[in-house]
Amino acid sequence: MLIYPNTRQRASRCSVCVLAVFVIFYGVFDVRADSDAIPNRQAETTGLFAPTLGRPVFVEPGETFQVVACIPNVGAAVNFDLVSSEQRQLRYHLQCESDAVGKLAAGQPLRLTVPRTVPPRTYDLLLSSNGTRLLGQHCVAVGHVGRSLRLIHLSNMNVGDAGAPQFDQRLIEEVNLLAPTLIVATGDFLDATHPDPSTGWRQLVDYLTRFDAPIVMACGDHDDMELYSRHVAPSPIGMVNVGRHRGLLLFDNPRAPINNNPEQIRWVERALGTPGFDGLTFVVTHDDSPNLPRYWQQQGTLARMIQAGRIGLWFAAGHRDWDGRTYREIIDEAAPMVYLQTHQSSTAPRGGATGISHYRIVDIVDDRVILPRDTSQTSGTPPSTPVGYLSATLDGPNDGTRSQLNISAVNNLPYRLNGLALSVRLRKNAGDSPWCHGARLAHVSDLGTYWECRLRFDLPDKASLRAAVGSGQRPAVPHVQVHFETGGTLRFRRYVTPDGLAFLSLTHAPPIVHLRNAADKLVVVSPLARLDGDPIAYRPLDGNTHFATAYRLRLKPGETVCLQLDLSAVRVAPGQRELQIYLEGTAVAAPFCQAVHVVVDGR
């Protein structure tokens, strides 16, 4: 889309009062473009108020970012460091303003400069002075944020529910593989029946900091406000800037709807009017009901606020994907804003959830919101993604003890995923540097006895990939060029046998694939052709051969072999698909792809 005594129950009942006290006591929020919504307050309590786990900051190497902290008994010197929670040897000292000591004592904002040598990743922020240490976990994302970014939406977890006694570890591996710019979590992290909320919130923090990307976190009506303020952010409302885009976090849930809080509405409207902003705004809230758009609709200002604030995305919590009907009138009037409600991100089978954790992929390219989807689905919001369809495995331990590792990555989803990432640790060999085949070597960090290699790669729909990364001697990889003759569109007719077997048959000349050996020596390969996840039979056109799913081909230097694909009886879904050729028998097997549009019976 294009767009410019239940302690927990007691805490929920008190949450409206807590928010009201926060807004009234602290008064006006700072909504400058380079900071979170930070209260303008006098020094009172020792603490780090921004950035925090749930309100991260994005900064490029060599640039500055704003910190709000208070150490009333600050010493004569203060130190600021970025520290990787996963790789503790990655520690970088930050330069600060000359009057940092006085600002810390007064609780005033100050600016820190990131050295140009800091490698991209998400860091903890450590402040230390006079024996006092303040730690902001997973709150500083160092790296370049371009005009494209990827968001991952995680909805209700309700850990502590009988069906979700623990956080789903599979979710971490899969989301990290997607290499998101930011994770958007919409609240209800612990269930109201959790036996030990204090321990549960510490476990939640440990869990969330294992994601590679920083996180913005809304406060749900099941979330204890005191524990949320202690572990996530001082306030449940705020603003986070992500490159040229920005996110607004609202305190809006069924027990405290935002339309009953005029002060918060005024803050939102002031934030939306901040000058100098040219990206999209995404709103993060817990209540699945679009309470603020409904308020604007009643005021007759909905379309104007959506356009003026450039609101392109509305993230809401829920146990299931949006059904496309509830709140339809308001959401249609809020167009071109995209409303997203995502299936629960845990194994709790409640509220219609399946008991399988889900997440949602949202790509923003310039000012377009793109939701990856199966193109056989022509309308509506695509469903969220269940865990288990995307994976990457290594053939050895990823601990820096091996000098070479082979990677197998699989995408069983019916759409292409670009920009995937994996971090691999390799033992250092004297005088050697890392190399990679089958993927892109995006960044290398020297971690003393081993390298940490950040690999990037793309995976077509229902495809797999084999890659190798190592330090030392680089293995030879056959240089085979692949060229497709497809015409771009494959037209099929549907047939049903008397026994009820249904299949598709191509109605025109079959595709031809050319394989050329561009190396200076003999190459032996076994091509594998696939379409929509299924193998396709083929035959070489240089002799009287039958169709088969694999031939062992011996290509002399400069020799070309033409393969005719058999699409006379296949199963494939209509829409945009990719014809894939794998060269089996080689150390790496990144597929060669040709996008095709599949048409069945003229549709």
Residues contacting 350, CB < 8 A, separation 6+: 158, 161, 163, 319, 344
Predicted local confidence at residue 44, as pLDDT: 60
Predicted local confidence at residue 131, as pLDDT: 86
Per-residue exposure over 347-364, b if at least 16 CB sit within 10 Å of its own CB, e if not: bbbbeebeeebbbbbbbb
Q: Would you mind telling me the total number of residues written for the chain in this entry?
A: 603
- What confidence tier does 473 reach under pLDDT thresholds 50, 70, 90? confident
Predicted local confidence at residue 34, as pLDDT: 34
Q: Quote the crossing angle between the two packed helices 262-272 and 7-26, to the nearest 10°.
A: 60
Pick the CATH number of 390-471 from 2.60.40.1180, 3.40.50.300, 3.10.310.30, 1.10.10.10: 2.60.40.1180
The owner of tokens 């209260």 is 39
Q: pLDDT by residue (tens digit) across 155-191? A: 999 999 999 999 999 999 999 999 999 999 999 999 9
593 in helix, strand or coil? strand
Q: Does residue 477 contact residue 468 with C-beta atoms inside 8 Å?
A: no
Give Cα 166 distance to the centre of its chain. Answer: 22
Predicted local confidence at residue 587, as pLDDT: 67
Q: Quick check: 97 pLDDT over 70? A: yes
Phi-psi region of 585 (alpha: psi -120 to 50; beta: other; left: phi over 0): left
- What confidence tier does 22 reach under pLDDT thresholds 50, 70, 90? very low
Q: Quick check: 10 pLDDT over 90? A: no
Q: Quick one: average pLDDT of 353-381?
A: 92
What's at 98, amino acid-wise? Answer: S
What's at 361, amino acid-wise? Answer: I
Q: Quick one: average pLDDT of 397-403?
A: 95
Q: Quick check: 21 pLDDT over 80? A: no
**Helix %, strand %, coil % for the chain, to 5?**
15, 40, 45
State the SS3 of 427-458: ECCCCCCEEEECCEEEEEEECCCEEEEEEEEE
Q: Quick one: average pLDDT of 410-419?
A: 96
Q: Does residue 580 contact residue 530 with C-beta atoms inside 8 Å?
A: yes
Q: pLDDT by residue (tens digit) across 290-309? A: 999 999 999 999 999 999 99
Mean pLDDT value across the chain:
90
Q: Is the peptide bond before 557 cis (omega within 30 degrees of 0)?
A: no
| Tokens read off for 414 | 């019916």
Q: Quick one: average pLDDT of 23-38?
A: 35
Report how far residue 248's alpha carbon sits from residue 216's, in angstroms, rounded to the nearest whole number.
Answer: 10
Predicted local confidence at residue 602, as pLDDT: 75
Report how far residue 126's alpha carbon sits from residue 91's, in angstroms, rounded to the nearest whole number.
Answer: 10
State the SS3 of 304-362: HHHHHCCEEEEEECCCCCCCCCCCHHHHHHCCCCEEEECCCCCCCCCCCCCCCCEEEEE
- What confidence tier does 76 reach under pLDDT thresholds 50, 70, 90? confident
Provide the 10 A C-beta neighbour count for residue 215: 23
Residue 64 to residues 113, 116, 230, 251, 547, Cα–Cα distance (Å): 4, 11, 26, 29, 62
| CATH topology match: 148-213+256-276+283-380 vs 390-471 | no
Q: pLDDT by residue (tens digit) across 475-509? A: 777 789 999 999 899 999 999 999 999 999 999 99
Provide the 10 A C-beta neighbour count for residue 564: 18
Range in 7-11, 242-246, 355-359 with the lowest mean pLDDT: 7-11
Burial class of residue 442 (count of CB atoms within 10 Å of its CB; 0-12, 13-18, 19+): middle
Predicted local confidence at residue 512, as pLDDT: 97
Q: Quick check: 590 pLDDT over 90? A: no
- What confidence tier does 542 reach under pLDDT thresholds 50, 70, 90? confident
- What confidence tier does 448 reach under pLDDT thresholds 50, 70, 90? confident
Predicted local confidence at residue 32, as pLDDT: 32
Cα angle vertex 566, ends 562, 569, to 5°? Answer: 175
The residues with which 30 forms a beta bridge, in sequence order, are: 38
Q: Quick one: average pLDDT of 192-216?
A: 96
Per-residue exposure over 520-554, b if at least 16 CB sit within 10 Å of its own CB, e if not: eeebebebbbbbbbeebbbbeeeeeeeeeeebebe
CATH number for region 148-213+256-276+283-380? 3.60.21
% residues pLDDT > 90 (the chain): 78
E strands, 353-511, are 358-365, 368-370, 385-386, 390-394, 404-411, 417-427, 434-437, 440-446, 450-459, 463-471, 480-485, 489-496, 502-506
| Tokens read off for 276 | 């100098």
Range in 153-162, 199-208, 428-437 with the lowest mean pLDDT: 428-437
Q: Quick one: average pLDDT of 503-532?
A: 94
| Dihedral angle sign, alpha carbons of residues 26, 28, 30, 31 | positive
Q: pLDDT by residue (tens digit) across 235-278? A: 999 999 999 999 999 999 999 999 999 999 999 999 999 888 88
Q: Quick one: average pLDDT of 206-233?
A: 96
Q: Does residue 20 contact residue 14 with C-beta atoms inside 8 Å?
A: no
E strands, 88-214, are 91-93, 95-96, 110-113, 121-129, 132-142, 148-154, 182-185
Report how far residue 498's alpha carbon sits from residue 509's, in angstroms, rounded to the nearest whole number.
Answer: 26
- What confidence tier does 85 reach under pLDDT thresholds 50, 70, 90? confident
Q: Where are the domains of the chain?
A: 31-142, 148-213+256-276+283-380, 390-471, 480-600
Q: Is the peptide bond before 386 cis (omega within 30 degrees of 0)?
A: no
Pick the CATH number of 480-600 from 2.60.40.10, 3.90.550.10, 3.40.50.261, 3.40.50.300: 2.60.40.10
Phi-psi region of 578 (alpha: psi -120 to 50; beta: other; left: phi over 0): beta
Residues contacting 397, CB < 8 A, separation 6+: none
- pTM for this predicted structure: 0.91
Domain 31-142 part of CATH 3.60.20.10: no
